[in-house]
Structure 1
Amino acid sequence: MLIGFQNLTFEFGARVIVEDATWHIQPGDRIGLIGYNGTGKSTLLKLLVGEYTPSKGNVEKGKDTTIGYLHQDLLSFDTNDSITEVALGAFERVRQLEKEIETLGHELEKDPENEPLLLKYTDSLHEMDVLDGYNIHHKAEEVLHGLGFGNEDLVRPYKEFSGGWRMRVLLAKMILQQPDVLLLDEPTNHLDLPSIEWLEKYLLHYQGSVVIVSHDKIFLNRMVNKIVELYQRQLHIYSGDYNFYEQEKTIRIEMQQKAFENQQDYIRQQERFIERFKAKASKAAQAQSVQKRLDKLEKIEDVQLERPDLRINFQLEKVPGKILVTLKDVSKSFGKLNIVSHTGAEIDRGDKIALIGANGKGKSTVLRMIAGTEPFTGERVWGHNVEESFYAQHQLEALTLSNNILEELQQCGSQKTDMELRSLLGAFLFGGDDVEKKIKVLSGGEKARVALAKTIVSKANFLILDEPTNHLDMHSVELLAEALNKYEGSYILVSHDRYFISKTANKIWEIVDHEIKEFKGGYDEWVAWNERMAKKKQEQEPPKAVEQPVVIAQAPAKPSPDKEQQKELQKQQRKLSNLESALNKAKEDKQKLEEALGNPTNYTDHQKFLALETEYKKMTAHFESLNKEYEVLFEKLLDMEG
């Protein structure tokens, strides 16, 4: 074990965050730490690194375990050093050795016969070699490039960069330190799609263990082999990716519900028996015995899936014309940085557009141009009856800090009553007295939800949304996607959340060579189209080396493809037949266990019930695994026989 909790309880004032939790992080673990907004995921990370002290229990840590912790509070760090220098801070010992070697070199020039000095110099060179110290600049540049920095950025002072880019530099430094455990709190919030993909590839080969707090489903599915859910003050551990967790959680809840109902049936039967026979002398002792058994029975809790609901209903007052906005021959640059050049685009009624691409390509700039908050050359023409509402991260700064949440929404001019506004804020997870909280005491995520609520309360028929899912948990992201699907207006959004884009967009915009390119179709279609184009391009490229006929002539003779194919076909058919037998056997075993679970008497013995439940889970997983294997093999055989 590298680090973990043993029977840990942590209270934040009067509120219990986690109770009697045991969780050990092992070498090779890739853990997704999930939970609804405000349940305390970031608090758990702070407990792991010792920023908070548990109320009860212990945080256990291996003696030599090193930890890297990426979180929002790091943004208070500032320096005039270049970003490469900041990243190279990861190699503390190597930087020290560089200085030592330089000093010793100067001293040896003056006194070349000094043996102790020469020995020290040789030792330092050897240690430098062992630490691969001569490659640190190359390693730092490679990681910074991967996270989206260009060559010209590497020498720029750290303080010139905005918060999101600073966070990337600190992530690069942390990756280069190669700690035993990496704790990453919402790392994808500050990354564009190419950088997320780079980070995925990098972390897949990372030697240490990784704990990730993230609301990006696709990222978690690719990255993790375990899910730890903070739910109702308990830690629930699932061995698998996010999709596995969703399926397994549903099964767990269904099984517990079934067990609860069966036990309730059993209790009712026994109570009827007691009621009926307690007055009869011949049966009174038996009735008392049944009563004692009932009193000792370990009750199974009723279980209902508890989760906050984001109930968003958009109200449109005006229907716009066919064309909402047209950009004609628009250009925009910042000094030498060219964003778009003599390009055009049109947004029609019913368009639900995702503007995607790497950071620095100008996605947010284009949104501001559409919204009219960014000057540019060219023309922007509004259509008839268009009422837009613009949500962007900078609107968090536009919130009035002295207002409480309700007052902030009252000042939107939406004409809604306080009751309606309270109901809307409830949809954004601000229930009861929460609406009285001052804006200045809210977390980043809470401020983002207030700003998003302000956008939605506006009755606009055209929404411009810049990273609306930042600071929302996964469930809220799903509910926002559902709400946008029901929205009768049009929108354009920028998001790095691939799941969210795939659920909301019917068109994709991309800035390519300073032009806005439109793809008529959803995100999954766009990805598939890009893959086809890349494959086509590869096929059209001339082969790198000309094949030598001599080599082919000298190659040893191989068995004819027909015979080989036949052999392979027979082998796979045998395998399929064995799988069918195993599947039938597993199905029978599963049915027997289901019957046992349906028998109320098995709920009187808690240990027996737990053993049955564990066996049923194992058998279900085994059955599903065999089924998947069977489907894959069946498809393969169809291809071979075709």
Structure 2
Amino acid sequence: MISINNLTFEIGSRALYEEANWHIKPGDKAGLIGANGAGKSTLLKLIVGEYSPTEGSISMAKDLKIGYLNQDLLSYHSEKNIVHVAMEAFERQNQLHAEIETLLKKLETDYSDDILNKLSDKQMEFEALDGYNIEFRAHEILAGLGFSEEEQRRPLATFSGGWRMRVMLARILLQAPDILLLDEPTNHLDLPSIKWLENYLQAFDGSIVIVSHDRYFLDRIINKTVESRKGKLTVYAGNYSYYLEEKSLREEIQGNQFKNQQAKIKQEERLIERFRSKASKAKMVQSRIKALDRMEKVDAVDDDNPEVNFSFKFSKPSGRHVVTLENISKSYPNLEILKDTDALIEKGDKIALIGANGKGKSTLLRIVADADKEYIGKSTKGHNVSQTFFAQHQLEALHLENSILQELIAFAPKHTETEIRSILGCFLFTGDDVFKKIKVLSGGEKSRVALAKALTADANFLVLDEPTNHLDMASVNILIQALQQYEGTFIVVSHDRYFLDHVANKIWFIEDKQIKEYPGTYEEYEEWNAKRTVTKQNDKPEKKTVKETPKKEKVVPPEDRQRALQKKNKELQTLEQKIADKEKEVKELEAHLAEETVYSDPQKLQEATRSYNSTKAEYEQLQEAWEQLAEEIMELEES
């Protein structure tokens, strides 16, 4: 299908690719991976002909139809509605449609056989190309990518960059190409749209090459992994998880080969050194020197998985309640986001806020962070809460003329330069990298600097909005390690499911304009939500005859369940404190009964016993009340 042969591509004096090879076959669904700057996007541009190789060749069939999605498509501008923009994919059908309309207009005054025959031919070709269904197919794909019927009637120019990219993706998918080249297709998609795209690509008949940092997305689609590294392309015959296992095995073998070769080289060097001065051994020495020069050297294994070795701490721990939201309502013109909802963030919570775009995630995050004051209700920060808010727009707040090191030192003066360098090393800035000016950094590098700043702030509460955007897999892994070691509280919005599954212990989502909470990991939430969805679909009201008397059951409305849970949990906490206080009283009375002055005096003993029995009974009643309340909470959670 596409053959890359001995490809060399140079940018200035740097060879981005050097004699790289790869053959893309029909049916291949390949993930093209590598660190930022490894040339993944450049390779796609080489394939479509935007760049030309310095040496080598890229060959393919002349009639091969390529669908290419890249971030440059964000600049595409049109005043047409997005259905018409998507339908631009059907070039021949659109041409035929225009010609048919022209012929029909002519037919109003000209009834000649020539016009009728031309019209018949055009209509037959249009029907053969499924022209009458192209608008339906455009609506179907746009709906899958998250566009409502009303939005599909809006001009492309009225949408933000992320939504415009979805329209471009729809147009490419509608072209039904032989091969899809997708450069970060999930960058501007929410979770429901990512899942829809996964299903679409799994069923796609052609070949696919995907550049993506979303390992869950890759695992569900690709059957080959191609690593771009050190100017070469290395193919692994499996998905991303297979690649990790296979690469680990290859590196183990390479490490052993390197170790053995180094031992052999040292042995030969000792032998050469020993006999170098002996004339009788000169021929043998020269022979061994030449053999060492000819030896194909095995490279040492590079560590592509750096570990965080810095502890991200803060000077003051927060109180138990970090943020309390009470009766929060938030609306925009013609759109109600939240209605009279409550929520509580407690010390140690690691919350992932998930959901479709437009459901209010960023709005809720800004309310939590006190960045949005235009709402009804009350948001209260707890005792000793110190906060840092990370959002993509804060990349613009970096001082462009500063070096990376200067930026961190100015922001975190309490840390020594050694500590700052250690932190920057955790975020993949090593050696002289720390002296780079902010203005020359890529988007991903700027994100890493901003994240390093967020984590060095003396904050026990982090609010993180899409921190994984623009990060490669190694950088995402660094962020995961940092947040796993972070001892404070955080709430994060991200569409990277691998990231969420490794950092969150609670899931928040907005449903029916209420903040809902699932107490578990993202993977556990997905399983629970899948079962809940199936249950909702299968739930059908029972048919009742005249003779039946329906059994009345107490049903807690979904919008009230969360509020009831929070109320009962507060009651449970109060009850636990009462139990602890009462238990202390019981122990004090037991000690009082054991005093000689009490048990030796019948009157004192009688009074002390009465007081002890009464307090013990109250303690047992509190215990029973706690068990009853805990059972009610469990029933609410399971309902």
Question: TM class by shorter-chain length?
Answer: 0.7 to 0.9
> TM-score, normalised to structure 1's length?
0.79
Q: CA 1:296 to 1:316, structure 2 compared with 1: closer, same or farther past 3 Å?
A: closer
Alignment check: 8 A CA contact 1:259 1:300 kept? no
1:325-355, Cα deviation, whole Å (9 max, x unpaired): 1111001111111111110100000000001
Q: Does structure 1 conserve the Cα–Cα contact (< 8 Å) formed by 2:307 and 2:481?
A: no
Partner of 1:179: 177
- SS of 1:167's equivalent? helix
Whose radius of gyration is greater, 1 or 2? 2
Residues 1:145 and 2:139 are matched in the alignment: no
- Quote the Cα distance in structure 2 between the aligned partners of 1:39 and 1:489: 35
Tell me how far 1:71 sits from its aligned partner: 1.8
Give the counterpart letter for 2:381 in structure 1: W
User: Where does residue 109 of structure 1 map in the other structure?
Assistant: 108
Which residue is equivalent to 1:83? 82
Matched residue type, 2:192? P
Where does residue 456 of structure 2 map in the other structure?
457
Task: Give distance in 2, aligned partners of 1:256 and 1:148.
Answer: 47
Cα shift at 1:443: 2.6
Does the 8 Å CA contact 1:227/1:245 hold for their aligned counterparts? yes
Corresponding residue number in structure 2 for 1:303: 300
Question: Could you tell me which residue of structure 2 aligns to residue 124 of structure 1?
Answer: 122
Separation of aligned partners in 2, 1:273 and 1:330 = 80
**What per-residue deviation string (whole Å, max 9, x for no partner) do you get for residues 184-220 of structure 1?**
1111111111111100110111122111111111111
Q: What does 1:421-570 correspond to in 2, within 5 Å? A: 421-538=420-537, 540-541=539-540
> Match for residue 609 of structure 1?
none
Contact 1:226 1:241 in 2 (8 A): yes
Q: Secondary structure at the residue paired with 1:89?
A: helix
Quick one: which amino acid aligns to residue 9 of structure 1? T
CA 1:473–1:357 in 2, change beyond 3 Å: closer, same or farther?
same
* 1:310/1:62 CA distance change after superposition, 3 Å: farther
Map Cα deviations across residues 219-254 of structure 1 (whole Å, 9 max, x no partner): 111110111101222211111101111111111111
Following TM superposition, by how much is the alpha carbon of 1:278 offset from its aligned partner in structure 2, in angstroms?
A: 10
Q: For the Cα contact (< 8 Å) 1:274–1:290, is it kept in 2?
A: no
Matches within 5 A, 1:361-400: 361-374=359-372, 375-400=374-399
Pick aligned residue for 2:201 from 184, 200, 203: 203
Alignment partners' CA distance in 2, 1:505 and 1:443: 28
Q: Conserved in 2, the CA contact under 8 Å of 1:354 and 1:505?
A: yes
Moved more, 195-204 or 53-62: 53-62
Note closer, same or farther for the CA distance 1:271–1:420 as it changes in structure 2 (3 Å cut): closer
1:8 partner SS: strand
CA deviations 1:339-388 (Å, max 9, x no partner) are: 11110100000000001111111111110111111221111001011111
Alignment of 1:391-430 (within 5 A): 391-412=390-411, 414-418=413-417, 420-430=419-429
Q: Distance in 2 between matches of 1:387 and 1:294?
A: 65
Instruction: Identify which of 336, 339, 362 aligns with 1:338.
Output: 336
Q: What SS class does the counterpart of residue 198 from structure 2 fall into?
A: helix
Partner of 2:592: none
Q: How many angstroms does 1:322 deviate by?
A: 0.4
What CA deviation, in whole Å up to 9, does each residue of 1:533-589 have, x standing for no partner? Answer: 234445543799xxxxxxxxxxxxxxxxxxxxxxxxxxxxxxxxxxxxxxxxxxxxx
- Aligned pairs for 1:604-623 (under 5 A) are none
Scaled by the length of structure 2, the TM-score of the pair is 0.79
Note the C-alpha offset of 1:179: 2.0
1:405 to partner: Cα distance: 3.7
CA apart distance, 1:83: 1.5
Which has the larger displacement, 227-236 or 484-493? 227-236
Alpha carbons 2:145, 2:193 under 8 Å: kept: yes
Instruction: Tell me if the contact between 2:257 and 2:298 (Cα under 8 Å) persists in the aligned partners.
Output: no
Deviates most, 220-229 or 79-88: 79-88
Q: Secondary structure at the match of 1:188?
A: coil
What is the distance in 1 between the residues matched to 2:174 and 2:149?
A: 18
User: Equivalents in 2 of 1:190, 1:85: separation in Å?
Assistant: 21
For residues 271 and 413 of structure 1, what CA distance do their matches in structure 2 show?
A: 50
Matches within 5 A, 1:156-171: 156-171=154-169
Contact between 1:332 and 1:340, CA under 8 Å: does it hold in 2?
A: yes
Whether the 8 Å contact between 2:403 and 2:436 is mirrored in structure 1 is yes
State the secondary structure of the residue aligned to 2:501.
Answer: helix
- Could you tell me how far apart the structure 2 residues matched to 1:100 and 1:41 are? 42
1 CA distance for matches of 2:234 and 2:94?
A: 43
**Cα deviation code 1:235-294 (max 9, x no counterpart):** 11111101111111111111122233344555667778889999999x979967984894
Higher mean C-alpha deviation, range 332-341 or range 9-18: 9-18
Q: CA deviation at 1:426?
A: 3.5
Within 5 Å, give how 1:631-642 maps onto structure 2: none
User: Aligned letter for 1:27?
Assistant: P
The SS at the match of 2:298 is coil
Given that residues 265 and 292 in structure 2 are in contact (C-alpha distance below 8 angstroms), is that contact kept between their aligned partners in structure 1?
no
- In 2: Cα distance, 1:185 partner to 1:419 partner: 38
> Amino acid of the residue matched to residue 304 of structure 1?
V
* 1:386/1:17 CA distance change after superposition, 3 Å: same
Could you say what secondary structure the match of 1:156 adopts? coil
Question: Percent identical across equivalent pairs?
Answer: 54
Q: Mind listing any 5+ residue stretches in structure 1 that lack a counterpart?
A: 545-642
Is the Cα–Cα contact under 8 Å of residues 142 and 167 in structure 2 kept in the other structure?
A: yes
Do 2:222 and 2:238's aligned partners in 1 also have CA atoms closer than 8 Å? yes
Distance 1:276 1:437, change over 3 A: closer
- Alpha-carbon contact 2:352-2:506 (below 8 Å) kept: yes
1:31-75: CA deviations, max 9, x gaps?
A: 101111222222222222222222221222321122222222221
CA–CA distance in 1 between the matches of 2:441 and 2:266? Answer: 49
Whole-Å separation in 2 of the counterparts to 1:409 and 1:274: 51
Cα distance in structure 2, aligned partners of 1:448 and 1:289? 54
Instruction: Give the drift of 1:84.
Output: 1.4
SS of equivalent residue, structure 1 residue 46: helix
CA contact (8 A) 2:272 2:289 kept: no
- In structure 1, distance between residues paired with 2:266 and 2:428: 39
Question: Would you say 1:21 and 2:20 are equivalent positions?
Answer: yes
Alpha carbon RMSD of aligned pairs, Å?
2.8
Q: 1:402 to 1:300 in 2, by over 3 A?
A: closer
Hey, what's the Cα distance between the residues in 2 that align with 1:431 and 1:242? 27
Contact in 2 for aligned 1:4/1:61 (Cα 8 Å)? yes
| In structure 1, C-alpha distance between the alignment counterparts of 2:292 and 2:94, rounded to whole Å | 69
Distance 2:409 2:136 in 1: 55
Q: Distance in 1 between matches of 2:316 and 2:67?
A: 52
Equivalent pair of 1:36/1:307 in contact (CA under 8 Å): no
Q: 1:144 and 1:12, CA in 2 relative to 1: closer, same or farther beyond 3 A?
A: same
The alignment status of 1:8 with 2:7, answered yes or no, reads: yes
- What CA distance in whole angstroms lies between the structure 2 residues aligned with 1:237 and 1:420? 39
- Contact kept? 1:31, 1:212, Cα under 8 Å: yes
